[in-house]
Chains A and B, each alone.
Chain A
Amino acid sequence: MILDIIISGLINGSVYALLAIGFSLIYGAARIVNLAHTAFYMVASYCIYFATHKMGVHPVLAMLAAIILVTLIGLVCYRLFIDPIREHEAAVLIATIAVAMAMQEIMLIIFTGDYLSVPSLVKGYLGIIGVKIAYQQLLTFGVALLILAGVWTLLKKTRVGLAIRATAQDREVANLMGMNESRVAMITMGISVGLAAFAGAVVVPLTVVNPHMWMHPLIFMLAIVVLGGLGSLKGSFAGAYILGFAESLVVFLLPMGAFLKGSVALSIMILVLLIRPEGLFGVAFEEER
C-alpha cells in the first residue's frame, strides 16, 4: 500500500506542480493573481480534442499546436483584460475569473457539456511490485519533471530568467536598471499560460474533457500556492507534492471518504496557515525577492 501511495502521490503532485508553478511565476514577477490560469488548461485540452478528433491531427502535433495557440490566447487576454488594470489587484482577480467563466461558457456552447476524451499516447501499463501504473501516467510524470527542470533552467540560466527574477525582487529597481518591466510581465504571462497549456496537454489523455474541468484544479492550485507561500516557486513545488500525497493517503486510508480528498487538502492548507501564515516557504520567498 505504501508503494501505491508513493506512486499515486508523485504523479498527482507533478501535475499540480506544473499548474501551481505557472500561477506562482506570474504572481511573483508581476503581482497578477490569474484566476483564469486553469481555464487556459481547460482550453488547451479542448484544442487537443478538436485537433485530434475533428481534424485528424496526430496527438503530439495537436498538443504542440494547442500549447502555442493557448499561449497566444493568454497573451491577448493579458493585453485586453489584465494589463490595463494591473495596478488594481482586486480588479485583476475579478477580471480573470470573468475571463475563466467566459472561456467555460464558450466551450459549453461549442462542445456542449458532453464528456470527451483524447487517446493515450502510449497504451498499456507497467507492474511494479503489484502496483499497476499506466504508461501514460509514467509519461505524464516524466514530461512534468522535464518541464519543471526546463522552467528552472530558464529562470536560473538565461537572461530572460534573470529579468523575471529581478522584476520579481523589485519592479521599480528593475525598471531603473533599464528593464522593460511591462514586457517582462508579458513574457512571464506567456510562460505561465504556456505552462498551464502544457499541463493540459500532458493531462488530457488521463482525464475527462469538460467545460468545468478547470474548477477543481483551480482550488487545488490556490491551496498549493498558499500552502507553499504565495509567489514562491520552491514553495509551490513542495506544496504540490504535499497535496498530491495527501490525496493518495485519503483514498487509501479512508476509502469511504475518497470524495473528501479535496477537503483534506484544503484543511492541510488552513492548518499550515494557522501555524505559519506566510506559508511553508514564506521566508525563503522573501529572501528570493
Chain B
Amino acid sequence: MKIPKFVLSILLVACLVMAISLPAYAAKVIKIGVIGPMKFVQGKGHWNGATMAAEEINAKGGIWVGKKKMKIELIKLDSNEFLSMTDATNAMELAITRHKVDFLVGGFRTEAVLAMQDIAMDYKKIFIGCGAAHPELCIRVAKDYKRYKYFFRGTPFNSRYLVKTCFIHMATVGGIMKKMLGIPKVKVAIVAEKAMWVDPMVAAAKGFIPKMGMEVAGIWRPSAVATDVTAELSAIQRSGAHMIFTTFSSSVGITFARQAGELKIPAVQVGINVEAQKDGFWEATQEMGNYVMTMNTYARGVEANELTPRFVNTYIKKFGETPTYTADTYTQIIYNLAPVIEEAGTLDADKIVAIMENREYATPGGKIKYMKDAQGRHLHDLTWGPGYLTSLGVQWQDGKLVGVWPNHWKPAKGVPEITYKGIVPYKIAPWIIKEYKK
C-alpha cells in the first residue's frame, strides 16, 4: 500500500515533535523563582527558607502533579531592591521570560513589590509576597480581581494588623510600666523610618495612642539608613517620652537601638525593629540593644503550635540562625504551593488560584486563612487574630532574644487567655526603673 506523501509528512512532523518534546515533558520540573535582595539578610531568609522546602520535597521524590511526580527547581533572583527598583523589575522579567518560572515567592520592599507584582500579573504568574506589608498589594486583588488574582500575601500580615499587634504590645508594656513604676499616663514618642509601609502605621498610631490612655509625645521620621540619630534621641528625651514606638525595617534600627542604649535614654522601645529580629543584632549594636522589644515571627524555644519547633530547630541546625519572617518562603512552598498543586493536579495558575484562595492551613507561624473585604471580595491577604496568625513579641534580654508575648493575652471578653509555650516575662531596663521609680 502506498502511503500518500501528505500523510507521511504529517506523521514525520508528529514524530519529530514527540521526539523533541517527550524528554522535556518527562524531565520537567516545577520552577520556583525566589526573588529578593540576595546580598542582604532578607534575601538570604527568602533563599534559605525556599532551599529547605525544596530539599524536603525533592527528598520525597517531588510533588504529585496529576499522575506524575515533579521535583522542584529553585531559581535565585537578586532583586537588589534596596538600591534599585529597576534591578527588581528586571529580575522579575528575567524570572518569567528567560527562566520560565512557574511560581514566584519573595519580595521585600513594598515600593519594589508593587512594581514586581504588576509584571507577574502581566504574565499571569502566581506570586506569593514574603516580605512586604503594605495593604495596597492586596487591595489591588479586590479592586481588579481578574488581573491581580495571581498575587497572594505569604508573610507578614498587612501593616494594619502589624500596627494593631504593636498597639497590643504597647498596651501590655504600658500596663507593666504603670504598675511597676507608678507612671500615671505613659507618653509615647513615635519614631518611624521614612518608608511607604510605615506611613499608614504612623497615621494609625497618632490617632489610636490617645484612645489607649497614653499621650503622643511627638513624631520623628529619620531616614531608613540614618547613621546618626543622637539629635532625634536628644529631642525624644526632651519630650519626656516613657515609651518609644519604633517602626524600622532597615539599618536605622541598629543605629537607633545602639545610640539609645549608649545614652541610656529613659524610654522603653516597643514596636517593629526588623534588625532586632535577627541573631546578629546583639553584636551589631555592641550589646547596646539590650531590652529592645520588637514584633517577630519566630524565636528560639517559643511554640505557636506543634509545627513551630520542627521548622525553627531544623532551620537553626541548617543555617546557624533563627529564621526571620522572610524565611516563610519555606511555609509557602511546603504548606501552600505543594498541597495545592497536588490537589489541582496541574500547574495551571487559574485552577491553583481557585483552590488556594479558599484554603485554611496550619503553618509553623499559625493558621493561614485568606481574607475577603467588606464587600466579600477576595483580598488574598492574611487573617490576623487568635487561632490564626498573631506573631510574637520578642525582647533582647542579656544577649538572648526571648519571647515575651502573647503572655496571658486576653483578646476579648469571655475568650480564654493565650500564652505560647516558651514565653518569659517582659523586663524593663534598669536605667529606666532608676529614672522613674521614686
Binding site for B on A (CB under 8 A): 1, 4-5, 8, 11-12, 108, 112-120, 123-125, 130-134, 136-137, 206-208, 210, 212-213, 216, 247-248, 251-252, 255-259, 261-262
Binding site for A on B (CB under 8 A): 37, 39-41, 44, 82-83, 193-194, 218-228, 230-235, 237-238, 251, 254-255, 258-259, 262-265, 275, 280, 283-286
Which residues on the A side are within 8 Å of B223 (C-beta)? 258-259, 261-262
Which residues on the A side are within 8 Å of B262 (C-beta)? 120, 123-125, 134, 136
B267 to chain A, nearest CB (A): 13
Given contacts A4-B234, A255-B221, 5 further A-B contacts (CB under 8 A): A115-B251, A115-B254, A247-B231, A258-B221, A258-B231
Beta-carbon contact of B220 and A256 below 8 Å: yes
Beta-carbon contact of A1 and B227 below 8 Å: no
| CA–CA, A123 and B238, complex, Å | 22
Number of A-B contacts (CB under 8 A): 112
Which residues on the B side are within 8 Å of A119 (C-beta)? 286
Which residues on the B side are within 8 Å of A262 (C-beta)? 223
Which residues on the A side are within 8 Å of B232 (C-beta)? 251, 255, 258
Which residues on the A side are within 8 Å of B263 (C-beta)? 125, 132, 134
Which residues on the B side are within 8 Å of A108 (C-beta)? 39
**With A113-B39, A115-B284 in contact, do A134 and B219 touch (Cβ < 8 Å)?**
no
Beta-carbon contact of B238 and A117 below 8 Å: no
* CB pairs A–B below 8 angstroms (30 shown): A1-B238, A4-B235, A8-B230, A8-B234, A11-B230, A12-B228, A112-B40, A115-B251, A115-B280, A115-B284, A116-B284, A119-B286, A125-B262, A131-B234, A132-B237, A133-B230, A134-B230, A134-B262, A208-B255, A210-B251, A247-B231, A252-B235, A255-B219, A255-B220, A256-B220, A257-B221, A258-B222, A259-B221, A259-B224, A259-B226
| CA–CA, A257 and B39, complex, Å | 30
B215 to chain A, nearest CB (A): 16
Which residues on the B side are within 8 Å of A120 (C-beta)? 262, 286
Which residue on chain B has the smallest CB distance to residue A249? B231
Which residue on chain B has the smallest CB distance to residue A137? B230
| CA–CA, A118 and B283, complex, Å | 9
Beta-carbon contact of B258 and A216 below 8 Å: no
| CA–CA, A165 and B39, complex, Å | 44
| CA–CA, A1 and B236, complex, Å | 11
Beta-carbon contact of B222 and A259 below 8 Å: yes
| CA–CA, A117 and B275, complex, Å | 13
Question: Among A115, A117, A212, which residue has its beta carbon within 8 angstroms of that of B83?
Answer: A212
Which residues on the B side are within 8 Å of A213 (C-beta)? 227
| CA–CA, A11 and B225, complex, Å | 19
| CA–CA, A255 and B231, complex, Å | 10
Which residue on chain B has the smallest CB distance to residue A252? B235
| CA–CA, A5 and B231, complex, Å | 8
| CA–CA, A131 and B236, complex, Å | 11
Which residues on the A side are within 8 Å of B237 (C-beta)? 132
Beta-carbon contact of A114 and B280 below 8 Å: yes
Which residues on the A side are within 8 Å of B264 (C-beta)? 125, 132
Which residues on the A side are within 8 Å of B44 (C-beta)? 112
Which residue on chain B has the smallest CB distance to residue A124? B262
Query: Top 10 closest A-B pairs, CB basis?
Result: A259-B194, A113-B40, A251-B231, A207-B227, A259-B223, A113-B39, A8-B231, A132-B263, A4-B234, A255-B220
A169 to chain B, nearest CB (A): 37
Which residue on chain B has the smallest CB distance to residue A258? B222
Question: Which of A113, A115, A118, A257 has the most B CB atoms < 10 Å from its CB?
Answer: A115
| CA–CA, A117 and B289, complex, Å | 12
A267 to chain B, nearest CB (A): 16
B288 to chain A, nearest CB (A): 9
Which residue on chain B has the smallest CB distance to residue A203? B227
Which residues on the B side are within 8 Å of A118 (C-beta)? 286
Which residues on the B side are within 8 Å of A207 (C-beta)? 227-228, 255
Which residues on the A side are within 8 Å of B265 (C-beta)? 132
Which residues on the A side are within 8 Å of B83 (C-beta)? 212
Beta-carbon contact of A113 and B221 below 8 Å: no
Question: Which of A130, A252, A256 has the most B CB atoms < 10 Å from its CB?
Answer: A256
| CA–CA, A34 and B193, complex, Å | 31
B79 to chain A, nearest CB (A): 12
Beta-carbon contact of A255 and B234 below 8 Å: no
Which residues on the B side are within 8 Å of A208 (C-beta)? 227, 251, 254-255, 284
Which residue on chain B has the smallest CB distance to residue A253? B235
**With A117-B285, A206-B228, A207-B227 in contact, do A132 and B234 touch (Cβ < 8 Å)?**
yes
Which residues on the A side are within 8 Å of B283 (C-beta)? 117
**With A131-B234, A132-B234 in contact, do A117 and B221 touch (Cβ < 8 Å)?**
no
B367 to chain A, nearest CB (A): 33
B68 to chain A, nearest CB (A): 39
**With A123-B262, A208-B284 in contact, do A112 and B39 touch (Cβ < 8 Å)?**
yes
**With A117-B258, A117-B285 in contact, do A258 and B220 touch (Cβ < 8 Å)?**
yes
Question: Among B225, B228, B284, which residue has its beta carbon within 8 angstroms of that of A212?
Answer: B225
Beta-carbon contact of B235 and A251 below 8 Å: yes
A4 to chain B, nearest CB (A): 4
Beta-carbon contact of B231 and A216 below 8 Å: no
Which residue on chain A has the smallest CB distance to residue B280? A114
Beta-carbon contact of A117 and B220 below 8 Å: no
Which residue on chain B has the smallest CB distance to residue A119? B286
Which residues on the B side are within 8 Å of A12 (C-beta)? 228
Which residues on the B side are within 8 Å of A134 (C-beta)? 230, 259, 262-263
Which residue on chain B has the smallest CB distance to residue A135? B262
| CA–CA, A212 and B254, complex, Å | 15
**With A115-B284, A117-B254, A207-B228 in contact, do A255 and B235 touch (Cβ < 8 Å)?**
yes
Which residues on the A side are within 8 Å of B231 (C-beta)? 4-5, 8, 247-248, 251-252, 258
Beta-carbon contact of B218 and A255 below 8 Å: yes
**With A125-B263, A247-B231 in contact, do A113 and B254 touch (Cβ < 8 Å)?**
no
Which residue on chain A has the smallest CB distance to residue B239? A255
| CA–CA, A119 and B283, complex, Å | 9
Which residues on the B side are within 8 Å of A261 (C-beta)? 223
Which residue on chain A has the smallest CB distance to residue B262? A134
Question: Which of A118, A119, A258 has the most B CB atoms < 10 Å from its CB?
Answer: A258
A72 to chain B, nearest CB (A): 26
| CA–CA, A131 and B264, complex, Å | 12
| CA–CA, A110 and B219, complex, Å | 38
Question: Which of B40, B230, B284 has the most A CB atoms < 10 Å from its CB?
Answer: B230
| CA–CA, A255 and B262, complex, Å | 21
